[in-house]
């Protein structure tokens, strides 16, 4: 559990809402601001959703573009 910026974390961190960095890949096509993001086949990465994603599969909305094959962008985690 994370108690402060100087405290180490144990296990994965979890965001329930807000702006958070997320590792992404362009497997679903180029990511642009406003694109919905879903889990990608690459473990630990998100990708742009294709068409109308199935309910419950959207993990957030891209707040930045991705101009490379993979990287980290800021994502808005939304309450569903």
pLDDT tens digits for range 14-71? 777 889 999 999 999 999 999 999 999 999 999 999 999 999 999 999 999 999 999 9
CA 43, CA 48: separation in Å to the nearest integer? Answer: 15
Domain range annotation of the chain: 18-77
For residue 6, the model assigns a pLDDT of 61
Residue 1, pLDDT above cutoff 50: no
pTM, rounded to two decimals: 0.80
* DSSP assignment letter at 12: -
For residue 8, the model assigns a pLDDT of 62
CB 31 within 8 A of CB 73: yes
Nearest-5° Cα angle at 27, 20 to 35 = 45
């Amino acid at each position: 559990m994370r108690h402060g910026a100087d405290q180490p974390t144990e296990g994965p961190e979890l965001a329930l809402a807000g702006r958070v960095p997320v590792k992404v890949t362009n497997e679903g096509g180029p990511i642009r601001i406003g694109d919905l993001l879903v889990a990608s086949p690459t473990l630990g990465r998100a990708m742009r959703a294709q068409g109308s994603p199935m309910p419950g599969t959207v993990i957030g909305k891209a707040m930045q573009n991705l101009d490379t094959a993979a990287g980290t962008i800021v994502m808005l985690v939304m309450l569903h």
